[in-house]
Structure 1
Amino acid sequence: MRLWHQALISKLPRQQLLGQHREIAALRGNGWGRRHATVDYVFRHSPFKLFQFHRLVLNEMVRRGYQPNKCWYNPLCRGQHCPPYKQLAEERETDPIYPEHDDAYLQECLANLRQKGIDL
């Protein structure tokens, strides 16, 4: 499981974009707080940050003609198998959304994609 650098979202091939949506949906649901080495940094931030990141992915999906469930546009939504948050403190928008998504992380993501035969 990995969150791609946000600068890559609009450039990801279909498979990676849809995979990103599935992974974020899992994290927003019952996967929130379950340790995973590659994405542990998201748990140091409010779940609202993950919603903000997911919104980037959702908007790209819509731009490409997909129709994701509208529930995901609600920051309280946690999917079909998890009760929604009762409330969630909004954080101010930052760029990048996650400070961990720096230039070094971008290069790491690009190298990971190249290993998969994807050269962006």
Structure 2
Amino acid sequence: MRLWHEDLIEKLPRQQLLGQHRECCALRGGGWGKKHATVNYVFNYSPYKLFQYHSKVMNEMILRGYSPNTEWFNPLYRGLKEPPYTSLDPVEPTIPIYPDHTDSYYQECVDNLLGKGIIIL
């Protein structure tokens, strides 16, 4: 489980892009707050930041002809098994969305993809 560096979203192959969508759905739903080494940092921020990141993933999916469930574009939505948030204060977007997505994290992600035989230019 990992959130790819946001600068890689538009470069991800189909399988990784769709996997990223599933990962975001899981984290926004019942996975929120459940520790996992590579994504623990997301829990240091408002769930709204995850919504912002997920929106970037879904917008890329739409550009490629996929149709993610539009309910996920609602920041309060948490999937079918979790009740929605009753309120969630919007967070001003930052670049990058997660400060943890540094240049070294970008390289770590590129190296991870390379290990899977995926070359990102």
TM-score (normalised: structure 2): 0.99
Question: How many residues in Structure 1 have an aligned counterpart in Structure 2?
Answer: 120
Structure 1 equivalent of residue 54 of structure 2: 54
Matches within 5 A, 1:31-110: 31-110=31-110
1:80-103 deviation per Cα after TM superposition (whole angstroms, max 9, x unaligned): 111100000111110000000010
Separation (CA, whole Å) in 2 of partners of 1:44 and 1:99: 11
- Where does the alignment leave 5 or more consecutive residues of structure 2 unmatched? none
Percent of matched pairs sharing the same residue? 63
SS of the counterpart of 1:89? coil
SS of the counterpart of 2:90? coil
Asked if 1:6 corresponds to 2:11, the answer is no
Amino acid at match of 1:93: P
Offset, 1:51 = 0.1
SS of the counterpart of 1:34? coil
TM-score (normalised: structure 1): 0.99
Offset, 1:63 = 0.3
